[in-house]
């Protein structure tokens, strides 16, 4: 598919450019028994499909479907098992017209998820984990989220050491963008994500959140995924990840105000409503569609 440019020359289609105007909410659908905040709630395909339908009804623009937890210390899920978890869910929700991203580090899962209807690959390793991933995404022609991390979920905690976290993350993400481009992935297919909580302390996360404009200056759309993470627990004084919804909404609005294009969240309805109110209040004054 192509889009016309001002000069009339067809430009490659971009999922990111074609998103509806305004902030986009990406709903997290973990088809896993062990995710850090919602593990086991949607690990059965029927429950996951129902949760995805709910998120669409609640206003999610994208559903991010994953079958492997990447929380610190998580063990590796073999690709065949990951695919058995997520492919029926992706196929069912794609049939409903959902825009789906697949949260995976495995090239074979990327391939099969796109065949089942996913249009975005969301890779927490920025295509570094599976050597076949960059060429696979290039060949599939889908969009991609390149997220910053160091090491793996097993090793990342000890790698949270930076000179200047904002500059280091910016530079390391640029290197991953260069790998993606060299593999033949189109620039307009790429979004980037600072990777909150992945080889980051709370102080690192806060510095990165405040400095999203520096990342946004790259021109790539920014995905922000801090929902229910430890920084929300720390700032909001809430140890239970499942009770971090309100703080996550506040952080999503902060991220959007600082240049994020997409917020990846567990609490879709709460975030969508907050974004609508914030957006309505920030918009230029006009007619009041609902004076009640």
Catalytic sites, residue numbers: 229, 264
Locus of tokens 């440019």: 5
**Smallest separation, CB 173 to ligand HH2 (Å):** 12
3-state secondary structure of 6: coil
3-state secondary structure of 220: coil
When asked if residue 267 is in the footprint of ligand HH2 (CB under 6 A), the reply is: no
Q: Which is nearer to ligand HH2, 11 or 39 (CB)?
A: 39
Site string for ligand HH2, 178-197 (x = CB under 6 A): ---------------x-xx-
Q: Which is nearer to ligand HH2, 32 or 109 (CB)?
A: 32
When asked if residue 148 is in the footprint of ligand HH2 (CB under 6 A), the reply is: no
**Smallest separation, CB 195 to ligand HH2 (Å):** 6
When asked if residue 28 is in the footprint of ligand HH2 (CB under 6 A), the reply is: yes
Q: Which is nearer to ligand HH2, 11 or 179 (CB)?
A: 179
Phi-psi domain of 290 (left: phi exceeds 0; alpha: psi -120 through 50; beta: other):
beta
Q: Which is nearer to ligand HH2, 248 or 281 (CB)?
A: 248
> How many residues bind to ligand HH2 according to rule CB under 6 A?
21
* Structure tokens that stand for 13 in this block: 């289609």
Locus of tokens 């600072």: 194
Site string for ligand HH2, 213-232 (x = CB under 6 A): ----------x-x-------
When asked if residue 32 is in the footprint of ligand HH2 (CB under 6 A), the reply is: yes
Among 42, 61, 69, 205, binds ligand HH2 (CB under 6 A): 69
Query: 28: part of which helix (H) or strand (E)?
Result: strand 24-30
When asked if residue 124 is in the footprint of ligand HH2 (CB under 6 A), the reply is: yes
CA dihedral 224, 5, 59, 290 (to 10 degrees): 120
- C-alpha 67/C-alpha 170 separation (Å) is 28
On whether the CB atoms of residues 69 and 35 are closer than 8 A, the answer is yes
On whether the CB atoms of residues 124 and 149 are closer than 8 A, the answer is yes
Residue 69 DSSP code: -
Among 114, 143, 264, 267, binds ligand HH2 (CB under 6 A): 264
For residue 148, the Cα-to-chain-centroid distance in whole angstroms is 12
Among 65, 107, 140, 145, binds ligand HH2 (CB under 6 A): 145
Nearest to 198 by CA among 145, 243, 242, 236: 145
* Structure tokens that stand for 162 in this block: 């930076």
Residues that bind ligand HH2 (CB under 6 A): 28, 30, 32, 35-37, 66, 69-71, 103, 122, 124, 145, 147, 193, 195-196, 223, 225, 264
């Amino acid at each position: 598919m192509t889009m016309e440019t001002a000069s009339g020359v067809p430009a490659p289609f971009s999922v990111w450019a074609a998103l509806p105007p305004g902030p986009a909410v990406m709903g997290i659908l973990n088809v896993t028994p062990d995710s850090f905040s919602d593990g086991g709630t949607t690990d059965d395909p029927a429950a996951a499909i129902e949760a995805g339908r709910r998120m669409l009804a609640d206003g999610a623009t994208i559903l991010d479907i994953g079958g492997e937890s990447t929380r610190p210390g998580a063990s590796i899920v073999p690709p065949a098992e990951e695919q058995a978890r997520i492919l029926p869910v992706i196929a069912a929700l794609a049939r409903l017209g959902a825009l789906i991203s697949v949260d995976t580090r495995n090239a074979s899962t990327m391939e099969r998820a796109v065949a089942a209807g996913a249009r975005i690959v969301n890779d927490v390793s920025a295509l570094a984990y599976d050597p076949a991933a960059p060429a696979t995404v290039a060949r599939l022609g889908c969009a991609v989220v390149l997220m910053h991390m160091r090491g793996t979920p097993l090793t990342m905690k000890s790698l949270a050491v930076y000179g200047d976290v904002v500059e280091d993350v910016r530079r390391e993400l640029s290197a991953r963008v260069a790998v993606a481009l060299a593999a033949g992935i189109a620039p307009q297919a790429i979004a980037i994500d600072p990777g909150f909580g992945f080889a980051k302390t709370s102080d690192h996360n806060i510095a990165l959140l405040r400095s999203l404009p520096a990342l946004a200056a790259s021109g790539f759309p920014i995905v922000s995924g801090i929902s229910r993470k430890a920084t929300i627990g720390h700032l909001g004084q809430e140890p239970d990840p499942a009770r971090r919804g309100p703080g996550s909404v506040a952080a999503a609005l902060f991220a959007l105000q600082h240049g994020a294009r997409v917020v990846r969240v567990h609490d879709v309805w709460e975030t969508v409503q907050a974004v609508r109110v914030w957006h309505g209040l920030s918009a230029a004054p006009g007619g009041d569609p609902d004076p009640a």
